[in-house]
Chains A and B, each alone.
Chain A
Amino acid sequence: GAVVSQHPSWVICKSGTSVKIECRSLDFQATTMFWYRQFPKQSLMLMATSNEGSKATYEQGVEKDKFLINHASLTLSTLTVTSAHPEDSSFYICSARQPDYNEQFFGPGTRLTVL
Chain B
Amino acid sequence: SQQGEEDPQALSIQEGENATMNCSYKTSINNLQWYRQNSGRGLVHLILIRSNEREKHSGRLRVTLDTSKKSSSLLITASRAADTASYFCATDANAGKSTFGDGTTLTVKP
Contact = CB atoms under 8 A, between A and B. Distances in A.
A106 B43 contact: yes
Main secondary structure of the interface of B (DSSP, over half): strand
Interface string B19-45: 000000000001101010000111101
Contacts of B103: 43
B55 to A, nearest CB: 19
Interface residues of A, number: 23
Interface string A1-38: 10000000000000000000000000000001010100
Interface of B: 2, 30-31, 33, 35, 40-43, 45, 48, 88, 90, 92, 96-103
14 contacts: A32-B96, A43-B103, A44-B100, A46-B99, A95-B98, A102-B31, A103-B48, A103-B92, A104-B90, A105-B45, A106-B42, A107-B42, A108-B43, A111-B40
Given A103-B48, A103-B92, 17 more contacts: A1-B45, A34-B97, A34-B98, A36-B100, A43-B88, A43-B102, A44-B43, A45-B100, A49-B96, A91-B42, A95-B98, A102-B92, A106-B43, A106-B45, A108-B41, A108-B42, A108-B43
